[in-house]
């Protein structure tokens, strides 16, 4: 297993949506920038069997580097003909254009780019005739740059699910329950990381606090089955244990 990676500075969320091919008025493209996964973008509906093509463009103001892309809660089918992120030097996407395929995975897709890109304009593009819903849906989008600590989390880490369901018993011990989703929870201790790693942890704490979500990937060889949108569950800062050595206990909860 490769070392864990964090993506906490989401370029897609920080800059305005420049253009979109179409959108349903109740599900605008700006919903791809929402912190909550309960909101999403939808294209206009097309007739059965029609072609589903959609672009959403972002202007970063100046060229910036990115090497990670995630698209949450999409309905893109496995038979899509194009699911890509484009970068360009101009808003028409005609100058120094680069493109990278977003490796398809049902539900949410995550990909680390083989080559980091530095571009001002970014486009997510989908061509799909097999979605089966007559519209394209895209949830939260993350385009950013990963940070990898000098050491992985150590043995003794915790990984499980928190159950927020409400259970009550009557006097006769009949049970009634209000079922709620069970978010994944992580307790990841890092020991003996270097100064740069500690600075990265502090940047996550300062950028996100307990409110803003970020992405963790526990195995970059298989990001689509090992990546999660999480929030910090408490603000505890790295502790210095000696010259160039730091410990940090990351307490995280998955955002559903």
Residues 114 and 240 in one domain: no
Same domain, 133 and 163: no
Question: What does the pLDDT look like over 187-210, one tens digit per residue?
Answer: 999 999 999 999 999 999 999 999
Higher-pLDDT residue of 3 and 163 is 3
Same domain, 173 and 136: no
User: Which of 89, 117, 144 is where one domain is finished?
Assistant: 144
pLDDT of the residue at 147: 94
pLDDT digits (tens, 9 = 90+) for 69-112: 999 999 999 989 999 999 999 999 999 999 999 999 999 999 99
Q: Span 217-223, mean pLDDT?
A: 92
Q: How confident is the model at residue 165 (pLDDT cuts 50, 70, 90)?
A: low
User: Do residues 112 and 164 both lie within one domain?
Assistant: no
Q: Residue 214 burial by CB count (10 A; 0-12/13-18/19+): exposed, middle or buried?
A: buried
- Residue 150 in domain: no
**Structure confidence at residue 180 (pLDDT):** 65
Give the integer Cα–Cα distance in Å for 54 and 86.
Answer: 13
Claim to verify: residue 104 and residue 162 sit in the same structural domain: no
Say yes or no to pLDDT of 44 above 70: yes
**Helix extents (H) in the chain:** 11-14, 195-208, 223-226
119 with 217, same domain: the answer is no
Say whether pLDDT at 49 is over 70.
no
**What's the mean pLDDT in 26-46?**
93
Please state, in angstroms and rounded to a whole number, the distance separating the CA atoms of residues 93 and 87. 7
Listed residue (107, 29, 31, 20) closest to 72, CA to CA: 107
More confident residue, 146 or 49: 146
Q: Mean pLDDT for the chain? A: 92
| Distance, C-alpha 219 to centroid of its chain | 15
- Give yes or no: residues 127 and 167 share one domain: no
Least confident of 12-26, 45-59, 71-85, 157-171: 157-171
Are 190 and 3 in contact by the 8 Å Cβ rule? The answer is: no
Within 13 A of 108's CA, how many CA atoms are on the CB side? 22
Query: Quick one: pLDDT band at residue 1, thresholds 50, 70, 90?
Result: low
The domain that holds 57 is classified in CATH as 2.60.120.260
Do both 10 and 40 map to the same domain? yes
**Under a CB-based contact definition with an 8 Å cutoff, are residues 230 and 254 in contact?**
yes
Query: Among residues 122, 144, 166, which one ends one of the domains?
Result: 144
Report the alpha-carbon distance of residue 96 to residue 53 in Å, rounded.
23
Per the structure, the complete domain to which residue 121 belongs is given by 5-144
In sequence order, which residues have a C-beta less than 8 Å from that of residue 253 and are 6 or more positions away?
162, 183, 184, 185, 186, 230, 231, 233
* Residue 151 is assigned to a structural domain of this protein: no
Q: What is the structure's pLDDT at 2? A: 78
Does residue 42 surpass a pLDDT of 80?
A: yes
Per-residue pLDDT at 181: 74
In whole angstroms, give the CA distance from residue 26 to residue 63: 31
CA distance between the termini of the chain: 25
In this structure, are residues 61 and 16 in contact, taking their beta carbons and an 8 Å threshold? no
Q: Strand, helix or coil at 28?
A: coil
The two beta strands, 227-232 and 82-88, are unpaired
Question: Between residues 135 and 167, which one has the greater pLDDT?
Answer: 135
Contacts of 172 (CB under 8 A, 6+ apart): none
- The full DSSP string for 229-245 is EEEESS----EEEETTE
149 lies in some domain = no
**What domain count does the chain have?**
2
How does pLDDT run across 131-146, given as a tens digit for each residue? Answer: 667 899 999 999 999 9
């Amino acid at each position: 297993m490769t070392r864990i990676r964090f993506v906490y500075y989401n370029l897609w969320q920080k800059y305005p949506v420049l253009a979109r091919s179409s959108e349903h008025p109740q599900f605008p493209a700006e919903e791809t920038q929402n912190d909550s996964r309960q909101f999403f973008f939808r294209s206009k509906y097309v007739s059965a069997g029609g072609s589903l093509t959609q672009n959403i463009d972002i202007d970063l103001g100046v060229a910036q580097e990115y090497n990670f892309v995630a698209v949450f809660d999409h309905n893109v089918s496995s038979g899509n003909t194009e699911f890509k992120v484009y970068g360009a030097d101009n808003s028409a996407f005609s100058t120094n254009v680069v493109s990278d395929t977003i490796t398809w995975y049902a539900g949410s897709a995550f990909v680390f780019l083989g080559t980091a890109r530095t571009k001002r304009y970014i486009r997510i593009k989908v061509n799909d005739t097999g979605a089966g819903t007559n519209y394209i849906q895209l949830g939260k989008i993350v385009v950013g740059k990963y940070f990898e600590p000098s050491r992985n989390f150590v043995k003794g880490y915790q990984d499980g699910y928190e159950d927020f369901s409400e259970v009550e018993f009557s006097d006769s011990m009949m049970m009634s329950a209000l079922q709620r989703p069970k978010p994944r929870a992580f307790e990841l201790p890092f020991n003996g990381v270097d100064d740069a790693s500690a600075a990265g942890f502090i940047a996550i704490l300062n950028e996100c606090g307990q409110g803003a979500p970020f992405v963790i990937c526990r195995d970059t060889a298989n990001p689509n089955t090992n990546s999660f949108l999480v929030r910090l569950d408490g603000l505890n800062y790295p502790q210095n244990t000696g010259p160039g050595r730091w410990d940090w206990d990351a307490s995280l909860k998955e955002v559903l």
